[in-house]
Amino acid sequence: MNTDYETVRKIGDVLNDPKEPLAGRFRALFTLRNLGGQTAIDCISKCFGDSSALLKHECAYCLGQMQDKGAIPALESVLRDENQETIVRHEAGEALGAIGADSVLDILEEFQHSEIQEISETCQLAIQRIQWLHSQKKHDKSSKLSANPFESVDPAPPAEETTIETLRERLLDEKLSLFDRYRAMFALRNHNSEESVKALAEGLQCSNSALFRHEIAYVLGQMQHKVCVPQLMESLKKLEENAMVRHECAEALGSIAQDESEDILKEYAKDKERVVRESCEVALDMCEYEQSGDLHYADGLIKVQEAKA
């Protein structure tokens, strides 16, 4: 798509305007991600100065998904910045892994022993993802891997094909490395059946890593299967649960868009954790979009064009 500099900047202005409603800023962000290019990257990077951790972490996520090396300097400085919230720094680390360039290994190694568990685990996973990419280049084994029907760049490759029961056991085995458990997670996600959703939802109870539980909620949101709504609700309601996990449960409920999710999202839109409140707000907007059948969720470009006309 050929979108001129001025138009991209205008969408960037919506993203970076704290007076705009959060849902509209999210839509502008996804529009920029879809457009790509350095101007879009610069507009997204500018947003790291915002006060919303939710929005900033989503900016980092989008920069990772774009897989453009032009975003590396901004992501590195976010990962380094101790004034950024953990959820934002985690997502910056993960995004560096998603870009997958060798040049990011130094900074990932520097933070792989961070005393903040979400950050150290993220960096370890990102390093292993890059190492895995290297091993793939040497021997082409990729054919044994299931395809990802969701078009996301994931923090780990899927495990080689095996039964759902074997994958479930690996997923829930807290003695295995996080990387191996993530590989089982993404293989189950790719399986995309009710049985695999149920196995994944059990992962919300695994106690040793909040990062792991939040990723489970993320993939359940991708799969949009209603069978896991009760488990997602249970984790959102748990006030002692890590806010990063509750945030991801709220967004997953929003993307599954059951009538029953609406009530709970409205309730937790008043949560004491800002990141949870804002996730519910954005999730309610996604709910509305899923229910309307509107194809233009990332409608920032349409809005700017309408304003021009």
Nearer to Fe ion by C-beta: 41 or 219? 219
Nearer to Fe ion by C-beta: 7 or 152? 152
Residue 212's nearest CA partner among 148, 156, 253 is 156
Nearest-approach distance from CB 288 to Fe ion, in angstroms: 20
Nearer to Fe ion by C-beta: 8 or 184? 184
Nearest-approach distance from CB 214 to Fe ion, in angstroms: 6
Residue 188's nearest CA partner among 223, 142, 143, 153 is 223
Nearer to Fe ion by C-beta: 201 or 282? 282
Hunting for tokens 């999202």 — which residue is that? Answer: 265
Nearest-approach distance from CB 278 to Fe ion, in angstroms: 11
Query: Rounded distance, CA 249 to CA 260, Å?
Result: 14
Region 83-102 residues binding Fe ion, contact defined as CB under 5 A: 94
Region 145-204 residues binding Fe ion, contact defined as CB under 5 A: none
Q: Count CB neighbours of 151 within 10 A.
A: 7
How many residues touch Fe ion under the rule CB under 5 A: the total is 1
- For residue 74, the number of C-alpha atoms closer than 13 Å in the C-beta half-sphere is 27
Nearest-approach distance from CB 14 to Fe ion, in angstroms: 21
Q: Count CB neighbours of 207 within 10 A.
A: 8
End-to-end CA distance of the chain: 19
Site string for Fe ion, 43-82 (x = CB under 5 A): ----------------------------------------
Residues within the interface to Fe ion (CB under 5 A): 94
